Each structure stands twice: as structure tokens, then as C-alpha cells.
Chain A
Amino acid sequence: MALRITGGTVYDPANGVDGSVRDICIEHGEIVAHVSADAPTLDARGMVVMPGGVDIHAHIAGATVNQGRRLLPEEHAADPELRPLGDGRSGTGGTLPSTFTTGYRYAGLGYTTVMEAAVAPIAARHAHAELDDTPIIDAGCFLLMGNNEYLLDRINQGDGAVTQDFAAWLLGAGGGYAIKIVNPGGLAAWKSGQRNVTGIDDPIGSSRVTPRKILETLADAANGLKLPHPVHIHCNNLGRPGNATTTLETMRALAGRRAHYTHLQFHSYGEGWKSRARELIEYVNAHTEVSVDVGQVMFGPATTLTADAPVEYLLHASTGRKWTNIDLELETGCGIVPYSYRDRAAVAALQWAVGLELFLLARDPWRVVLSTDHPNGASFRSYPELIRLLMDRAYRHERLKHVNQTLLGGGALLDGLDREYSLGEIAIITRAGPARLLGLRRKGHLGVGADADVTVYATEADRSRMFATPRYVLKGGTLVVSEGTLVRAPRGRRLHVRPPYDNRVLGGLKRHFDQFATVAFENYPVRSVPDAPVGP
């Protein structure tokens, strides 16, 4: 099926196109240079054409997400989703929608690629099964490794040589796309009674392992394996006042090494709850090996849900809200607390401001990309509102007047930030940038050979409305949203890697499983991850 999208104003920053009127040609699911003159056309005159959105960090599928869904019966009852299309599926929404609804709603927002950011390898099979039931979007899984006891033990034994092979094996076994670290060492500490670590040089238990060593080991593994995405780091001390010090120490520890730091907003606070966004983003601006996603907080309901279980315990203890904690053997854990950010609450307002400061002070949008750490900072459905805050200075100033300003003193936002993101910059932070950081060469751009994932927006002055309801969305060349309505829901592809490893790593692993695990080593790998691995 060939198609020509005609007359749209195209934003394709990866190919240097910043708002020029041109046609986009599509054939066999790809962007092509030409289609025949009699190919069907889609009239995009007066509209904005961008690549499909790419979400670098969200929680949409798997064990923790599904535990979270169970905590939200009221939210789900309040947000039913009728069956779309002839053979579509009904579902429920809220901050943690059911799987089919997740796929439909992402596509309805013009997003066509999403990374599930925290999958415990032991439960990878579960995450893949949910993604099988999540239509339209292409999706991948980041595998949690920063508290893996086999890895920690190898580091403790000074046997770092096998860690790269181990990481490669684990990525293949879990059908993963990238290496994820959450609170390095902190989960192992939480599970063994040490509660947590407080800085990157705290030893884990009585071992010689520290968060710093875990960070170095896994950053080197990701880079050594030439993975498409570098190590994806959720730093120690998330959400705690004063944690900016830890975040900067972490970045300095890995100076010169390619690494991605996720939801930086949650890691940018000074002692006594103040913003240190300026310092953090200055470091990021000056160090090209560093990339981040912001993890913006937006006011309204959220569900905090993370492998960083000790943080969730503290949130439960301080708020009295319901709380789920699951300790997952030898690898990680998870904690979940439903939450709400209120603009009248001082800390929530600070978090909101810190996120905006990071965006507005970032010098290179290719390395500072959009996320809300869905559903932790807010649902992915709040992206359009966030885009408006970034693009519309007057609106932002007005909004700022109505938030609790107790803790905003000395922060850049209150001092006055006049920057407005352009449409081209929005295209970078929502598609071209994340795709490049993920190493997805066929995503995030509209050059020849790219996947034909295309979003067409009707131009509106209210950018929130514009980005909330794209007029057309194509996924792999298939029209999935037309006139703002879902019209098709093809299956999405799985994005995963299968790096080679030295077989000699298997013997020690097998012994580790036999001694400690309750799942047979032979049954651990996911046997049928759909679609071919992403090539180099």
C-alpha cells in the first residue's frame, strides 16, 4: 500500500527539516523517496507532520504494573473504555490502563513506540505476554540488573570479567532492549534488612560492593556490548531532599562513559526541599556523554510504582496510603503507592517547577527528552499539557501563579524563564531525540528507510489541544487514527536485542540457579520473543 501525505508542514529534525512544506511518501510500511503519481493521498495542507512519538521511559506492562492495576479499582471504574472498532477490546483507563486501552490511547496521542522501563528478568515472560495484548505500539523492555545478586557477587569476588557476558546473556534470556539500574545496591540492602544505601560509596551489607562499582560495571557492559541504548540509570536516593549531591556524584563517577539518567527531576533536590535543577542541568549541558529524560510531575492523580521499593515504603509510611511491596528473588523488588500531586502542596509544586526548570535550561534538546515517568509523575496522557507549558510562556506564567510557591524561592522558574519551545524542539524531545538515544535508527524520523510511523496534527494555537488529538496517525504505514478516531489496531512489534556472549559464563550461572533460585535455569529464558532482534 502506497500513500502520499501531501502539503503538510513537516518537522523532521533528524533530517534537518524544520517546518517546511513537503510531501511524505510511504510504501510497504516505510518512508520512500517517491510513490507512483496515482498513489492515494492524504491531504495534510495546513497541518503539522511529525514522526510518530517515541516514549523513552514509561511503565505500561508486566508484574509491577499489573500489581498496580489491582490497587486502582475506583480509578478503573471511573474511566471505562468501550470496545473500539469491530473487533477491538474494551478496557479501563486511569493512571494504569488495561493493556489494550494502553495501546489505543498511546496511538490516539500520536505515539507509536514505547519503552517499558523496569522489567525484572524473572518476570520478563509476564511483561512480554502483556505486550502481546498491547496493540499498535512497538515496545521494548529495560531489564533490571542493578541489584542482581549474581552480578553483585561477581563484583564482590573481583570477577568483573564475566559481567559483560552475564549482561548479554540476561538481555537475550529476558528479551530485553537495554540494561536498567534502579537504586543500585539499594534493593539488595532493602531485602536483607539494611533498609537502603545513602550514597554511591556505601557498601552493600558486608561485601565490597558499592553502588559506584555497580554503576561502573553495568555502564561498561552496555558500552562494551555496543548496545543501541546505554545503561539507563535511576540513581540512589530518589525523591529525597538533598539527593542532587548523589546524582552529581553518580554522573561524575561515570564521567566519560555514555549513560542515560532517567527522571532527573526526581533526583534534583537540595537539602530542605529546594531546587538544584540549575546545577544538574549545567552538568548535563557540559557533558555530551550524558543524556536524560526529565520525569516531569503534573498536577493530578498518579501512581508511584517502582523497583525502588524502599522509597515506596517511606511514601507509604509518610502518607498512610495503601502500599504494595513485592520482593523478587535474587534480582529486585517493587513498591507501589497510589498518589496525587496537588498544586497547593509545597513539595508537589517544587517537583513540578524542578521539571520545568530542567526543560527550560537545557541547551541540547537531543539529550534532555520528555517523560513523566508514566504513571509516577503523571499519566502519559498529560504530555499535551506539558508541551503547552513548554511552548506557551504566558500560559506557564499564569499557571505558576496558582501553585504553592513556598519552596520555589531561589529556583530558576520563579526568577523568570522566558524560553518557549518551538515545534521543531518539541519534535526533538518527543520523537527524534528519544529515538536517537535509544539507537532506533528506523524511528523518530521521516527519511527514506524509516518506519512509516507518522503523526499529523491540525495546527491550533492551544498546543495542549493540538497534541492531545492528532488528526491522523500512521503506524508502519497503516492508518490507525483518522479524523481523530481510532480506525485500526494492528499488532505492534517487539524491540529487543540479543548480544553475543561467551558460553563459559553459563556454568557459573547454572550453579547459582541450582543453589539459590526457585526457577530452573533451563526455564528462565523467555523462549519466544516475537520479531527479530534489533540489529546494530
Chain B
Amino acid sequence: MNATYEHVTCLGCGLSCDDLTVTTESGRIADVQNGCDLGRAWFGSGVVPGEIRSRGESVALEQALVDAAELLGNARRPLVYLAPELSVEAQRAVVAIADRLRAVLDGSTSLAAEYMLAAQRRGRTGATLGEIRRHADLMVFWGVDPTERWPRYVRRVANPESPPSLVAIDIGARRGLPEATIRCSIEPGLEVVALGVLRAAVLGRAPLVPAALAPFTDLAHQMLRARYVVLVHDVESTDPGRDPDRFEALIALAQALNAPTRAALSPLIAGGNRTGAAQVVAWQTGFPMTVDFGSGSPAYRPGDIVRGAGWERELDALLIAGDPGSLPHKLASLLGSVPVVLIGPRTSAASLQATVLVDTAVAGIHESGMAFRMDDVPLPLTTVLASGPPAASEVLSALLEHLQRMR
């Protein structure tokens, strides 16, 4: 059976381009048009493993769910980890499971914890991609080159009819956009100072400018002359050499620019509907990440897993929902010591030791639903392959029902 699907949403990166055309042949993806290399790789052939195992044995889904529910339901201090590659529908079920279990809920949003916390302290100014395309006349790539991880970013946001000026800020080895016409370089240690210089100039103050930052005075003037400034940055960068205070400084600069002109921050976030996870956790709990349901209601524990706050030693069971392909170190280090339930796409390919493992469909390939673009625009997901493992949203909802029946 051959089929062609148009306007397909790709979750290969946070851009979530929804203009792809996908052709399938005999149960495989044969062709992907309009997408980038990253997108084509994300779709692949669409053939994914469909294993269901419990204690090393292949079992029926129902048995796996019974075993998973028993393991998780009897744990005193379970951790539920919301990994990428789930639809909003599946994410909603995962948060419900964590609530039911009185678990600690963490997930890939924590990779952007420093940015999220800065935005909670100060607020933020943002814009959807189309608004950037409509209005931006100056774009500053702050220590990030989107070419590799968000390949179509510049093409999608830079208006070809009135192209914006492109500025690259190189921070140590972290290069800004290669094709930028203006380029400033600084050492990582001066990153926050440079943002302070820009903000002071924007606010009309006369800052003391270190010689190494002289070009930033010119940049500030250029920003003041622009109609709409966009600052592009990578919110998940875990570069140990970079100053985490840059997030708050970037937010403050973008906010300050809105007095003399208009400005927005454009945060770059990886794919797999990570943005949806932050949205769902926020609407169901009031907090965007790392929630402890241990006391029977959501308590906020931002960044604890990354920082290693100590309570993770109490954990006695772990549910990883989503693609376990890239887990943070702290979490990966727990894997040998507690029983693990894995539910998500390609779990059997992740070579992780799991007590129960259920391979599911991939949202956006075999499973429809909804996902959020990195600028918080919600998009529909298309099923391009009808055959595949069970849908993650259905498996996770079934697990929730098992847990509800237990108590």
C-alpha cells in the first residue's frame, strides 16, 4: 500500500516544521520531502521495534502492564521521568500516573532548568516564528549556530523580502551563525558582563566598558535603531564553560529593549515535543517541571535531579516514559540500582536494564495527537504508518487504569 501525506509535522527538532510530504510504501517510509536531513533521519524508515518484555521474557501487553503496575504501585518513592517523543495526550497520562503514584516527576524540561527558572523570576518576552518573520529586522545569534540542530531555523524566520541583519556572537568556542554579517567574539567569562553592557546602553546609562567589549556599544546602538530585535539562544546548552546567569541577563536585555523599540527572545529547544512536556506539567500541576507528589499534592523541586539534591537515594522504582535514548547522567546512574519500567518508542533499542519494557509507536509517525513547537504553537501530528507498536498514549492510559484499580 502506497500513500502520500502532506502537511506532516516533524518532531526532529523544536521547529516542528509542518510542511513535510511523506510517502509510504509497503509499511515503510519511502520518501520525505521539504524536510531537512535531521527530519529525514527522524522519520527514518518508520520501522521500529515492537518488543514487550517483563523480567526478560516476552509477554503480552496486558501482562506487562500488570507487572509494571505492581512494581510501581508498591514502590514507596517512585520517580517518573518524562522523556521526549510523546504526544501531549501521552504526556497527560504520564503526569496522571505520577500523581496517582505520589511520585517524583521529572523530565527533559529539566535540561533547560536554568532558563525556565530565570523566566519564572523575571517573565520573558517572546514571539512565535511567524511574528519574527513578520517584524524582525535585527537577529542576534547569542553563542549559537542553529544550522546543525535546527537546520531550517533561519530559512523559516528570516523574511526573504526584507531580510533582517544577522549578528553572530561567538562565545569561546561556541560560534554564532556562520553567515552573519556582523560578528563579535568574547570569552565565556565575559558573557554576562557583555549582556550587562548592552542592557545599560539600552537603558540610556553609560556603562564602564572593558576594552574587550568595545564592539558591544556599537551593537547596542544598532539594536536601538532596529524596529524589532530578536535574540536567539539555546536554552538546553549544558556547556560547563558557559555562565548560567546568561539566561536571566538575556531575558532582562530583551525586556529592556521593549522600552525604546520592540524585542523578543527566541529560545531554541530540541525536538520530540519537549515543549509540550513543560506545557502539560504546568497546566496539570502549576509548575513546569520537577514536581514531587509525595505529600499528595504538587511540590516544586526544580533542578534537583541535575544538581543531585540527595533525595534521589530514596528512590525505589523508576518509570521512564518516552524515548530513553538520551537520559541525563544523574538518572542514568540510578538505572542499575532500582527496578525500571520503560514505556516508549524504541525502548528495546536503548540497551538499558529494565524489569518491564514496552516498545510503543512514535508520536507523529504511527500515532496522531498533538505536539507543541518550541515557540509554544500547538500542532497536530499525523499517522503516516498505520501498522506499528501500540500507541504510547493508549499504553500509558492503560497503565493508569491498572494503577487506579490497585488501590
Q: List chain A positions with a Cβ less than 8 A from chain B.
A: 61, 63, 65-67, 69-73, 76-77, 80-83, 86-87, 89-94, 96-100, 122-123, 125-126, 129-130, 132-133, 190-193, 313, 316-317, 322-330, 336-337, 516-520, 522-523, 527
- Give B366-407 interface residues, CB cut-off 8 Å to A: 370, 372, 376-380, 404
Shortest 8 CB-CB contacts between residues of A and residues of B:
A329-B130, A92-B286, A80-B297, A76-B286, A324-B123, A518-B130, A327-B127, A125-B378
B283 and A69 within 8 A (CB) = yes
B298 within 8 A of A: yes
B300 and A89 within 8 A (CB) = no
Q: List the A residue with the shortest CB-CB distance to B6.
A: A522
A322 and B121 within 8 A (CB) = yes
- With A89-B99, A522-B7 known as contacts, the answer to whether A73 contacts B300 (CB < 8 A) is yes
Q: List the A residue with the shortest CB-CB distance to B254.
A: A325
B125 within 8 A of A: yes
* Residue of A67, A71, A90, A517 most packed against chain B (CB within 10 A): A90
B285 and A329 within 8 A (CB) = no
B60 within 8 A of A: no
A527 and B380 within 8 A (CB) = yes
B19 and A133 within 8 A (CB) = no
A66 and B283 within 8 A (CB) = yes
The one of B99, B120, B380 that contacts A70, using a Cβ cutoff of 8 Å: B120
Instruction: Determine how close the nearest CB of chain A comes to the CB of B251; give it in whole angstroms.
Output: 10
Q: List the A residue with the shortest CB-CB distance to B117.
A: A73
**What are 20 inter-chain pairs, A to B, with CB distance below 8 A?**
A65-B283, A66-B279, A69-B286, A76-B287, A76-B298, A82-B297, A86-B404, A90-B297, A91-B286, A98-B286, A123-B376, A125-B370, A129-B370, A133-B283, A316-B123, A323-B122, A324-B126, A325-B264, A329-B131, A519-B18
Q: How far is the CA of A63 from the CA of B124 in the complex (A)?
A: 14
> Number of A-B pairs whose CB atoms are under 8 Å?
181
Instruction: Determine how close the nearest CB of chain B comes to the CB of A375; give it in whole angstroms.
Output: 13
Instruction: Determine how close the nearest CB of chain A comes to the CB of B260; give it in whole angstroms.
Output: 11
- With A192-B135, A518-B156 known as contacts, the answer to whether A90 contacts B286 (CB < 8 A) is no
Q: How far is the CA of A330 from the CA of B129 in the complex (A)?
A: 11
Q: CB-CB < 8 A to A325: which residues of B?
A: 123-126, 258, 264
- With A81-B297, A125-B378 known as contacts, the answer to whether A322 contacts B123 (CB < 8 A) is yes
A523 and B9 within 8 A (CB) = yes
B299 within 8 A of A: yes
A133 and B378 within 8 A (CB) = no
Q: CB-CB < 8 A to B259: which residues of A?
A: 317
Q: CB-CB < 8 A to A94: which residues of B?
A: 286
* Residue of B92, B255, B378, B379 most packed against chain A (CB within 10 A): B378
- With A313-B258, A324-B123 known as contacts, the answer to whether A523 contacts B131 (CB < 8 A) is no
Q: CB-CB < 8 A to A132: which residues of B?
A: 92
B227 within 8 A of A: yes
Instruction: Determine how close the nearest CB of chain A comes to the CB of B125; give it in whole angstroms.
Output: 5
The one of B99, B133, B262 that contacts A193, using a Cβ cutoff of 8 Å: B262
The one of B7, B134, B295 that contacts A329, using a Cβ cutoff of 8 Å: B134
* Residue of A99, A330, A520 most packed against chain B (CB within 10 A): A520
Q: How far is the CA of A72 from the CA of B298 in the complex (A)?
A: 14
A122 and B377 within 8 A (CB) = yes
Q: How far is the CA of A303 from the CA of B293 in the complex (A)?
A: 25
Q: How far is the CA of A328 from the CA of B127 in the complex (A)?
A: 6
- With A83-B296, A122-B128, A133-B283 known as contacts, the answer to whether A73 contacts B19 (CB < 8 A) is no
B126 and A92 within 8 A (CB) = no
Instruction: Determine how close the nearest CB of chain A comes to the CB of B22; give it in whole angstroms.
Output: 13
B285 and A518 within 8 A (CB) = no
- Give B261-281 interface residues, CB cut-off 8 Å to A: 261-262, 264, 279
The one of A63, A122, A520 that contacts B19, using a Cβ cutoff of 8 Å: A520
Q: CB-CB < 8 A to A516: which residues of B?
A: 130, 133-134
B335 within 8 A of A: no
Interface string of B282-324 (1 = CB under 8 A from A): 1111111000010111111000000000000000000000000
The one of A77, A87, A96, A191 that contacts B299, using a Cβ cutoff of 8 Å: A77
B158 within 8 A of A: no
B128 and A327 within 8 A (CB) = yes
B287 and A92 within 8 A (CB) = yes
B59 within 8 A of A: no
Q: How far is the CA of A316 from the CA of B259 in the complex (A)?
A: 11
Instruction: Determine how close the nearest CB of chain B comes to the CB of A316; give it in whole angstroms.
Output: 8
Q: List the B residue with the shortest CB-CB distance to A313.
A: B258
- Give B216-250 interface residues, CB cut-off 8 Å to A: 227-228
Q: CB-CB < 8 A to B156: which residues of A?
A: 518
- With A89-B99, A523-B9 known as contacts, the answer to whether A100 contacts B123 (CB < 8 A) is no
Interface string of B94-124 (1 = CB under 8 A from A): 0010010000000000000000100111111
B365 within 8 A of A: no
Instruction: Determine how close the nearest CB of chain B comes to the CB of A386; give it in whole angstroms.
Output: 25
Q: How far is the CA of A409 from the CA of B119 in the complex (A)?
A: 41
Instruction: Determine how close the nearest CB of chain B comes to the CB of A44; give it in whole angstroms.
Output: 33
Q: How far is the CA of A298 from the CA of B370 in the complex (A)?
A: 38
A91 and B297 within 8 A (CB) = yes
Instruction: Determine how close the nearest CB of chain B comes to the CB of A90; give it in whole angstroms.
Output: 4
B376 and A191 within 8 A (CB) = no
Q: How far is the CA of A81 from the CA of B255 in the complex (A)?
A: 34
B18 and A523 within 8 A (CB) = yes
B288 and A76 within 8 A (CB) = no
Q: How far is the CA of A98 from the CA of B120 in the complex (A)?
A: 16
B88 within 8 A of A: yes
Q: List the A residue with the shortest CB-CB distance to B9.
A: A523
Q: CB-CB < 8 A to B376: which residues of A?
A: 63, 67, 123, 126, 326
A130 and B283 within 8 A (CB) = yes
Q: List the B residue with the shortest CB-CB distance to A515.
A: B161
Q: CB-CB < 8 A to A69: which residues of B?
A: 282-283, 286
The one of A193, A324, A520 that contacts B18, using a Cβ cutoff of 8 Å: A520
* Residue of A98, A324, A328, A519 most packed against chain B (CB within 10 A): A519
Q: How far is the CA of A81 from the CA of B379 in the complex (A)?
A: 31
A83 and B297 within 8 A (CB) = yes
* Residue of B120, B255, B372, B380 most packed against chain A (CB within 10 A): B380
Instruction: Determine how close the nearest CB of chain A comes to the CB of B1; give it in whole angstroms.
Output: 22
Instruction: Determine how close the nearest CB of chain B comes to the CB of A338; give it in whole angstroms.
Output: 9
- With A76-B298, A89-B99, A328-B128 known as contacts, the answer to whether A323 contacts B282 (CB < 8 A) is no
